[in-house]
Amino acid sequence: VYMDEHASDYASSLERSDLKLLLLCVILALTSWTGLCRLIRAETLKLSELEFIQAAKVFGISNIKILFNHLMPNVMHLVLISIVLDFSGLVLIEAVLSYIGVGVDATTMSWGNMINAARLELSTDPVVWWPLASSFIFMFILVLSANLFADRVRQVFDPKGDTDV
């Protein structure tokens, strides 16, 4: 709202739309990190009670070596999977926010702006439906491929998962 009311503060509409996109990314980043932290903390607490960590402590290995040699390799697959799955969610959140008009600037191409523009074409005569369908189909393909990629990353990096990839 501030940016729309004070448009004269920005040199161009491109600068304003870039700043709006940056602010949206910062807001989404600030609100989406808590789930990953809870997941990593729970896994770290679980791993720290296992025998191989306890044995490393008994042998006098430093906490830094235990962290980098034992805990990090067993937690990194969760980080990678979470990042890829969060990407899918963030794409959908951006599409919804841009569709209702509080996301990126209307001049910036995004899934929500494309769907909103295609929605307006449905009221024409004859009905132009293919921009809306293609926007939904390609957004679905992007989210589905990110989820399939996350599943593959889990298969490859999960130390407790199957080894036949």
Per-residue pLDDT of the chain (165 residues; tens, 9 = 90+): 556 666 677 667 667 777 877 888 888 888 888 889 999 999 999 999 999 999 999 999 999 999 999 999 889 888 888 888 888 888 888 888 888 888 887 778 888 888 888 888 888 888 888 888 998 999 999 999 988 988 888 788 766 665 554
- Distance, CA of 36 to CA of 75 (rounded, Å): 11
**Residue at token pair 């501030």:** 2
Give the model's pLDDT for residue 152.
85
* H or E element in which residue 27 lies: helix 13-32
How many CB atoms lie under 10 A from the CB of residue 91?
17
Return the pLDDT at 159.
Answer: 61
Query: What pLDDT does residue 161 have?
Result: 62
- What pLDDT is recorded for position 105? 78
The residue assigned the tokens 């990314």 is: 25
Q: Where are the domains of the chain?
A: 10-157
- 84 C-beta neighbours (distance < 10 Å), count: 18
The pTM is what?
0.68
* pLDDT, position 49: 93
Asked if omega into 126 is within 30° of 0 (cis), the reply is yes
DSSP 67: I
